[in-house]
Structure 1
Amino acid sequence: MFLKKITEIKNVGRFKSARIGGGNYEPFTLIYGGNGRGKTTLGAILRSLQLNDPKLVTRRKTFKATSDPSIGLLLDNGQVRFSNGAWTGSNPDIQFVNENVHGGDQVDVEHRRNFYRIVVGATGVALAEEVDKLDADATAKQTEIASEKKALEQHVPKGSKLEAFLKLAADPAVDARIEDTKLKLKAINDSDALKTRKLLSVPALPALPEGFSALLAKGVDGVAADAAGRVKSQIAKHGFHEGGETWLAEGLKHATGENCPFCAKTLSNNDLVDAYRGYFSEAYADHKKAITDMGEALNSALSAAAALKCQQAFKDVETDAAFWKGYCDHDYHAPEAAARIVAEIDALLQAAKTLLQHKTDAPLEAAPESADFIEANAKWSSTVAELDAASAKFATANQLIQAVKDGSAAANKAAVEATLAGLQAVQKRHTEPVLALAIGYQKLLDEKKALVEAKDAKKKALDTYDEAILGAYEADINKILATFGAGFRLAQCGKNYVGKVPQSTYCLRFDTSDVDVTRNGADDPGFDTTMSAGDKNTFALAFFLAQLKRDPDLSRKLVVFDDPFTSLDDFRRAMTAKEIVRTGGEAAQTIVLSHDKFFLDAVRVLIHDVACTTMQISGTSSGSSIEPWNIEWEVKEGYLQDHMLLQEFAQGRNNNAREMRTAMRPLLEKYIRYRFPNQILDGKWLGDMLAIIRGDASHPLTPQYNDLDDINQFTAPFHHDPNVAFSDDEVRTYAQRTIAIVGGC
């Protein structure tokens, strides 16, 4: 992988809207930047690309930026971009000096894990990271399991265990069984009250007296239909009124012959006498009595008391049914018709009495049913049918009720309570929210089991790999430590799984004494007391270099060194530069980031036959930019830098006349001080120097006095007031005279 050029960085750290200068980068690219300018940000950008981890960029978004980070990188295989929070393009293989093997004064567990990852190389790291990830996933899964278990345990019935609760099988009929068991338990609790509670029953429904309709149509055989009318008319005609019928009936008893006992006239073929005889016959008398009796029967059968009693009976049954409903599902429902009994019976009674009165008034005439009677009778018949249908359920209901009565007396309350608790547990286990929680909990258990099994398999593969690599790697690291002149070596390199994640176990050997880095006893020699800061950094760098040397794919990788020489002495610093060039020369590209320009120059001068690009991260009040960097000029001493700038201006190679106006006097002052050391006291400037030259006719600078004086007088106003007008050509002329004095033209 080769980074040809950074084309754009916006809103990332110090790179708010970075200017990007220069051409393509070379196999060696050295980047200079002061602390806080953005070297670490560049490293984070490359790491984000390598890992395809957008957070490494998005978390570095420029403060107060109004738009999201945007990055453009030109690789050897094409352009890649970061926009809208994601990378577009391939994820290259980049190697970083990124694994700490110690932290200050100690080597803790995490450092030993990092150390281990470096030792085992890319293959081992991949296996170790898989083990780590599987272990972390299993641990995270266990946390989820604990959380789900806690949520589930809130639903476990008192006295039960979660495992047993979860194993309860589903029962499709559990709801009905629970309700049935609840009714049984309630019956047991109320058994005393049940003993005295009656079954469902109502009295017979009120009805018209038997033969009512037949009586209305009935006459008397042999009695003329108008006999009663003629008798009444005769009584009224003769003013008999009270006692008239009695007088006629008594007299009729004496008309035994063919002649009238009063007038002796013949009685044969006398219609009136025939009417008397029919009217006062025994059959007729029985007929009238039947009508009278029917009236009494009607009043009794359809009395208000009978109707009210019947209606109340249905209300009582409704109350009893509701009571028993709490103990069994008897399926009896109070009919709406019960509320109509009194009113409909009264209506029927009144209509029937009206008909019977008509019959009483004309006993021998048929009394046809009136519209009121027909309607009242039809309504009551419909009501009777509805009430009979409801009453027909009494038998079944009473069987269930009687069973409740019998069962409540004989049941074992504790057993029924236990049954109910068991059924309720089954119901709870297989209804929400427990159902979903249980499914999720089992899923988590299965997932953790799979993770543990996968971790064990990877761990076994890692152990096999480590046996082959650890010894060889230890030897490589010790060779590098010897190159750096380190007074210690790596010894007893191994690993363990304390804390589940693989970690290194090793000692630092000083001559024949081994220091176990895992021991932190106050009285024992340790990492903090035996290693200097330079030793510690050498220790970490040696691991990285050893990893690079053993990497079979190094020729295809980009290697990044970020300030690799911190706290190293001159010798180790020089060796670091050599190792970077030696090892980096095998990589596709090596990028070195540093805040020390002289170290970068030390790397540069060691590079032969390989192209090298030098860049710098420059900073302004608005942010950082990436620009070409003249490292040769930057590492020169200040006088030489000023001399080069002024010479370039004098020769027309730059046009910065404004800056050169004030550069001539300081250059001349440094020149005179360097040429005549210990002759010019501190605090003396060009004017003072001219006075010394004037006072010494034999002074070596006497021939240049006039030029020095002219330059002094020309530049003096600019040092006091930078806004004094000037001419570019005039400034260039004096610059040429200055270079002529100090030499170089």
Structure 2
Amino acid sequence: MLERISYIRAVGLLHDVNAAKFKLKKANFIYADNGRGKSTLASIFRSYSQSNPALIVNRKTLGSTDEQKVELHFSNGNKTVFDKTAWDSKHTEMLVFDLDFVEQNVYSGGQVTPGQRQNLLNFAIGNSAVTAQSELDTAINYLSISSKKIKALTDKLSGIHSGQTLTSFIKLKKIGNIDEVIKLTNIRITAAEKNLVIQNKLLPQHIELPSLNIDNLFLILNTSLEGIDLKAEERVKQHIAEHGGGSIENWLSQGAAFIKNDNCPYCEQSLDGLTLVTAYRTYFNKGYKDLVKSVSLLTTGIETRLGEHIIEKIKAAHQVAQSVYQSWLEYIAIQETSLDLTKITISLNQLKLLLLSLASNKINNPLDKVGSDKELLQCRALWTDVIDAIIDCNSVISEKNAAINLYKRNLASENLQLLKGDLLTQQMVKKRYEQPALDLITEYSAEKVIEKAATGVKDVKKAALNVIMIVTLNKYESAINNLLVKFGANFTIKEVKFNYLGGGAPRSEYAIEMRGQNISLSGGNPDFRSSLSEGDKRTLAFAFFIAVLQNDDQLSKKIVVVDDPMCSLDLNRKSNTVTILKEICVSCKQLIILAHDVYFIKKLRDEFSGKNPIDTLLLKLQHANGSFSEIDNIDIDVACESKYFKHHRIVNEFIIGNAHNSAEVAKAIRPMLEGYLHSRFPNHIAKDLMFGKIIGAIQSAHAGSPLNYAISLIPELNGINTYVGKFHHDTNPGADAETIVDTELRSFANRAMTLMYKGG
């Protein structure tokens, strides 16, 4: 329990307050006029309750150079000190209802904000959910740590997977030999971009096969003529020359064609045995001539068909094909065409040498058969080797050309945009499976597992807290409405619940119903600002506060501070407020009420000292030197008495011997008698009548008027009025200079008291 507000320095009007002599009790009522530091004292209590130094620091006494300090003494010798910037300890828990509570938890500026609803929920669930809230906060903290790590990793990865979501990036499948795949895709893209050029690009041509008819060649070599005189030509030419040459040879040739049956076509003589005629037959024989001609061409023909130029031609054709293939390598992977040029060269040379040898032999022996079957087979084999080597090469060329044609057909159907998309994917795959992405994703994936687990724990803890909040808020809705009924409010709350809108901490949600209509808490029509009076709004806030206290099973361990529990205009709610505060006082450890309504303080004192009395201390904040404030006792009865009772008390205390200022007593006798007569004859003496006119009204009262009962008092009233009138400015401008004799004053005081007690 708070036992003493020992000392306050440099906090607002509480500049140098020493109140250690006042020991607080179970119930403590502190009165203060407006502007005397009541709210400042409430803020000191709130600063202590929330361990919030700013509430004191921000109320530094204007112009003061003193360091701020507050000393509070609690039970069992415990002391708490605020020194300069902080509280050094905290003992008994304190719950404070003040303007800060209203603005932080309920409303401000005529509206109810999400932040206020969040604060209200935190205040409402209080200790009932301390463990659950703590566990949820811990779970949220773990989740936050994990989420921050994931955010940091995500930021590091963002520059790597740009253009693709992180989830998709992580899920990319690994591609083997990715660099080669990317290279090939780039080639395909380049080709697709050059499709028209590639479609018109030349293909390698087959190597032309060399021509050689070995069988025809051997036909010449194998040709032989019988009965041919090899010296006939020499003999005939000699004969022609002997006859002058010229056209005789032609004549002899034509004539030889007419020789039949060895008889001369000219003279029919037998030609048999004539050597010259036989020579004619050989010389002018067509077969012989043809053979001689063919044989003479053998060497040239062999050189033409099997010379070095043939090898060079084959080699050149192969090189052209290779060159064309080289130009295709940037688009399609094809191997070089192989040609066994060595074998071709050897076979051709061997074949040429063999044939030249046979030709030479034939030339020398034209009428003989030259070239055996074995030699024919050998030549055929050598030629086959040459042809087969070229055919093999051409077959490869055909295969490769087919591959190129397939490539061209496929190229014609390529989708350039899809290819570019494939390239981007492949490039992403490359980044995905190389550093730094590889390590970052490993770390990210591991942290995601941790985050998932932390999310699960948070959800479980959140669900547990939700159950507590649902149960708690259901109780509060009923409790708050019961309080509003007791306070005479013409509105109720409903649908008290909570939500997590905004993604942050939970906040309360409720609706206000007035005359069957829902009141909007923020804007709308009708709205909270204009529909509820200031008294209604403060009543709602106070109902929230009290409902929480009523449902707090730890209230007996807490100090409750209430600063102005109701609006000064809501006098109709005073009685119920007093009753409820007494109930709270019974349940809590200690109650401290601060108010600027002295009559409310008196009503509290009267209620708390009545049935089932509670030990009570009454204090006030009053004016002190330097226009500051100090704490002192207050006589609540004196503070609350009417003018009549005040004047009666002053006169009576003077009579019985209590010290009083004589001038004050002299001035009190006349208004005391005025009050007496007003109360004795209500509605018969006008409220604004002064003492002399009241006496006149009694003197002139008509028959049957109640004032007639006071006619006997007129002489005494006039006598007293003559004396006391000297001390009032309305009858004596020099009233302040009048001399007062205490014995004379006491005599008139007794006469006035006797008149009132005795009546007339």
TM-score by length of 2: 0.51
User: Residues 127 and 43 (structure 1 numbering): CA distance in 2 closer, same or farther, change over 3 Å?
Assistant: farther
Q: Please state how far the C-alpha of 1:103 moved relative to its aligned partner.
A: 3.2
Corresponding residue for 1:474?
A: 477
Q: Please state how far the C-alpha of 1:531 moved relative to its aligned partner.
A: 4.1
Aligned-partner Cα distance in 1 for 2:746–2:543: 54
Corresponding residue for 1:120?
A: 125
Corresponding residue for 2:599?
A: 598
Corresponding residue for 2:234?
A: none
Q: What does 1:704-743 align with in structure 2 at a 5 Å threshold?
A: 704-713=717-726, 720=734, 722=736, 726=740, 731-743=745-757
Corresponding residue SS for 1:542: helix
Aligned-partner Cα distance in 2 for 1:470–1:682: 54
Identity %: 29
- 8 A Cα contact 2:31 2:619, kept in partner: yes
Q: What does 1:396-435 align with in structure 2 at a 5 Å threshold?
A: none
Q: What does 1:146-165 align with in structure 2 at a 5 Å threshold?
A: none
Corresponding residue for 2:505?
A: 501
Corresponding residue for 1:619?
A: 623
Q: What does 1:166-177 align with in structure 2 at a 5 Å threshold?
A: none
* Partner AA of 1:578 in structure 2: T
Q: What does 1:14-25 align with in structure 2 at a 5 Å threshold?
A: 14-18=13-17, 20=19, 23-25=22-24
2:631 equivalent to 1:646:
no
Deviations 1:464-494 (A, max 9, x none): 4324433333333333334444444433322
Corresponding residue for 2:60?
A: 61
Corresponding residue for 1:211?
A: none
User: Residues 712 and 493 (structure 1 numbering): CA distance in 2 closer, same or farther, change over 3 Å?
Assistant: closer
Q: What does 1:65-464 align with in structure 2 at a 5 Å threshold?
A: 65-78=64-77, 79-97=79-97, 98-99=101-102, 100-103=105-108, 105-124=110-129, 459=462, 461-464=464-467
Q: Please state how far the C-alpha of 1:595 moved relative to its aligned partner.
A: 1.4
Corresponding residue for 1:548?
A: 549
- Unmatched tracts of structure 1, length 5 or more: 164-447
Corresponding residue SS for 1:659: helix
- 8 A Cα contact 2:7 2:20, kept in partner: no
Aligned-partner Cα distance in 2 for 1:51–1:538: 23
- 8 A Cα contact 1:495 1:505, kept in partner: yes
1:702 aligned residue (715, 720, 729): 715
User: Residues 731 and 707 (structure 1 numbering): CA distance in 2 closer, same or farther, change over 3 Å?
Assistant: closer
Corresponding residue for 2:438?
A: none
Aligned-partner Cα distance in 1 for 2:677–2:550: 53
User: Residues 738 and 126 (structure 1 numbering): CA distance in 2 closer, same or farther, change over 3 Å?
Assistant: farther
User: Residues 627 and 556 (structure 1 numbering): CA distance in 2 closer, same or farther, change over 3 Å?
Assistant: same
Q: Please state how far the C-alpha of 1:681 moved relative to its aligned partner.
A: 6.9
Aligned-partner Cα distance in 2 for 1:693–1:454: 89
Aligned-partner Cα distance in 2 for 1:682–1:606: 32
Corresponding residue SS for 1:561: strand
User: Residues 132 and 63 (structure 1 numbering): CA distance in 2 closer, same or farther, change over 3 Å?
Assistant: farther
- 8 A Cα contact 1:470 1:494, kept in partner: yes
Aligned-partner Cα distance in 1 for 2:135–2:750: 69
User: Residues 23 and 689 (structure 1 numbering): CA distance in 2 closer, same or farther, change over 3 Å?
Assistant: same
Deviations 1:100-155 (A, max 9, x none): 32335432212221332243233447866997899899999999x999x99x9xxx
Deviations 1:649-701 (A, max 9, x none): 22122333343343333333444455556776787645666777899995532
**Alignment: residue pair count:** 455
Deviations 1:415-472 (A, max 9, x none): xxxxxxxxxxxxxxxxxxxxxxxxxxxxxxxxx9999999878645533432443333
Aligned-partner Cα distance in 1 for 2:59–2:686: 52
Corresponding residue SS for 1:662: helix
Aligned-partner Cα distance in 1 for 2:16–2:742: 34
User: Residues 470 and 661 (structure 1 numbering): CA distance in 2 closer, same or farther, change over 3 Å?
Assistant: same
* Partner AA of 1:591 in structure 2: I
Aligned-partner Cα distance in 1 for 2:671–2:146: 71
- 8 A Cα contact 1:94 1:558, kept in partner: yes
* Partner AA of 1:29 in structure 2: N
Aligned-partner Cα distance in 1 for 2:52–2:749: 55
User: Residues 76 and 729 (structure 1 numbering): CA distance in 2 closer, same or farther, change over 3 Å?
Assistant: farther
Aligned-partner Cα distance in 2 for 1:585–1:141: 48
Corresponding residue for 2:667?
A: 662
Corresponding residue for 1:189?
A: none
Corresponding residue for 1:199?
A: none
* Partner AA of 2:27 in structure 1: F
Aligned-partner Cα distance in 2 for 1:9–1:35: 19
Deviations 1:267-293 (A, max 9, x none): xxxxxxxxxxxxxxxxxxxxxxxxxxx
Q: Please state how far the C-alpha of 1:28 moved relative to its aligned partner.
A: 1.4
Aligned-partner Cα distance in 2 for 1:645–1:563: 31
2:664 equivalent to 1:633:
no
Q: Please state how far the C-alpha of 1:550 moved relative to its aligned partner.
A: 1.2
Deviations 1:539-568 (A, max 9, x none): 222221221111111112111111111167
Aligned-partner Cα distance in 2 for 1:641–1:81: 42
Aligned-partner Cα distance in 2 for 1:455–1:723: 84
Corresponding residue for 1:37?
A: 36
Aligned-partner Cα distance in 2 for 1:65–1:129: 42
Q: Please state how far the C-alpha of 1:55 moved relative to its aligned partner.
A: 2.6
Aligned-partner Cα distance in 2 for 1:740–1:654: 21
Corresponding residue SS for 2:667: coil
- 8 A Cα contact 2:11 2:61, kept in partner: yes
Aligned-partner Cα distance in 2 for 1:743–1:42: 46
Corresponding residue for 1:49?
A: 48
Corresponding residue for 2:258?
A: none
- 8 A Cα contact 1:19 1:627, kept in partner: no
Corresponding residue for 2:561?
A: 560
- 8 A Cα contact 2:139 2:458, kept in partner: yes
Aligned-partner Cα distance in 1 for 2:737–2:136: 70
Aligned-partner Cα distance in 1 for 2:31–2:684: 39
Aligned-partner Cα distance in 1 for 2:699–2:531: 64
- 8 A Cα contact 1:561 1:593, kept in partner: yes
Root-mean-square deviation (CA, aligned residues, Å) is 4.9
Corresponding residue SS for 1:501: coil
- 8 A Cα contact 1:490 1:509, kept in partner: yes
Aligned-partner Cα distance in 2 for 1:455–1:666: 75
- 8 A Cα contact 1:647 1:744, kept in partner: no
- 8 A Cα contact 2:4 2:19, kept in partner: no
- Unmatched tracts of structure 2, length 5 or more: 167-450, 702-709
TM-score by length of 1: 0.51
